[in-house]
Chain A
Amino acid sequence: MKRSILSSIIAGSLLLTFNAQAEQVVKIGTLSDYAPFEYKDASGKLMGMEIELGDAMCKIMKVKCEYVTMDFDALIPALKARKIDAVLAQMSITDERKKVVDFTDLFTLAPVQYVTKTGAGITENPTTLKGKTVGVQSGTTHESYLKTRLPKAKSGIEMKTYQSLDQSWLDLESGRVNAVLSDTTVAYDWIAKTGKSKGFDFAGKPIIDAEIFGDGTGIAVRKGDPLKTSFNMAIKTVLSDGTFAAENKKVFPFTIAPGK
């Protein structure tokens, strides 16, 4: 034990290294806790729909891809600090984010919906949420939707933000929030695995607000990075050759491929 502690101390101090430039390695920033898009299985292997598609796209682009996982909040700072070269983490294309990063063409649709206890009488109509509390993940478009479209003073809707979506599911179960606003996709994963059996389901229709939610998600790269063009080409290929549809079918009964 003593030896391994000492060696870890030495290793830790050696980790401050200079990185040689100009390797054909694309570092893709993603999440480790966003099933079924990206998650780690019991052996610690990163997998999920976006990882499969990411691998396929890197093959098309003929580059070596390395995945770097971190919290959602840290992705854009990491991209700007050149710790990663691209973000593939269900990041919605929004005007606000476009100010700091470039996005590829539409990669997936990302419908947004409330999840509540079944029969709670809540729909996509904000008036049904008056005096209720809604949970969202911090740094997401769901948070900015509630902040800008339904501020508490006007709508009477209380907002609670969470570091991860799991925490908001826990509070939904315990009744501290009346609804959770999230992407239909990951919410489907939770409902299918545990929510449904505990009496939770989608409430109302998906919310359409292109200005805040954007049309869907894309891959984010640094401003002016030519990587964008190659990713666009790769996205077009996986969408047309059936790779996308095959991976989509594995995890969702509905399609999230962007419309033609």
Chain B
Amino acid sequence: MDDHDKGLVAAGAALVWRRQRVLWWVYVVNLALGLLGTAGARTQLEHLLKHSLAGESLSKGFDLGMFFELVNVPDANLMRSMRSSLLFVLLFPLFMLFVTGGILSVYREDRRFTAGDFFAASGAFFWRFVRLALFSLIPFGILGAAYSGVRRLADYIGDRAVPAETWFYVMLAGCAVVVLLVLFVRLWFDIAQVRAVVQNEPRMWPNLWKSLGITWRQARTLFRVYLCISGVAWVTLAVGLFIWAKLPPTVTPLTFLLLQFLVFMQLATRLWQRASAVTWYKRHAAVVPADAVDFTTPAPVEFVDAYSVPPESAVPASPPEAAPPEGPTAGESPRPGETSA
């Protein structure tokens, strides 16, 4: 990480903090969907347990035997409730796909949006992000196949090895590689989304390839940022689950708060990654002025070498005097009609 990118993680966190309204709204929607997804099961549970003493073994501990019986009661339909929960599980990614444009616009401009502005921005980028999401199926699919290959390799090696741990360690190593690759792909598509918003890029296929070039050349910086924030998410989750396992069985309100904190932190770290990506991009790119962005008919805007002439408003710290050898726009030049610094 060169001097120019120092404090990127902190700057991303600060941006999330300043614009925490976005995070809270995302969390509220997640919580609402979670509660709606639980409603069916809760109704069934009320029917079965509200006036039965059978639930005592679940509230004063957690008797897995009783829980299995509960799940298997023929007229309980808890399995059907599970299917309705799945519906709400699927709704949230759609919601996030829709509002990502708005979220990135808020981070881009670092100001409070009205609801109208926010949803206008969300709507403006929605179909571009749908296209990106569809494109992402290709690399994620390839990585899915890679995971399956890792599994087959682990089975093959593990089956022939005497130490029982061999399978686990081969899987661990293989999965670690796959996870890092997944993280890289996520970073790549995040940059593409950031680029679509910050540069108001309308063409997603070329955008994708340019974003790949940027991500590849700046992988050392960006990937480290993403890995660092992911680490925070993973550690928080692990510590939270450890505490959860130690909580007394009867403190349901405290359990609720802890579990909600974990969900909140997962969402917060995800937005932290996005905020860091926007911050990085703003430091390195000529940003199209917000009022110049026509959401309905966006003008194609090309990424430029921001090291030479960074826009003052977008660069809080002084840029380095010399441009780095692997600038994000190496080899690119503005096309006629494109905005440049």
- A and B bind: no
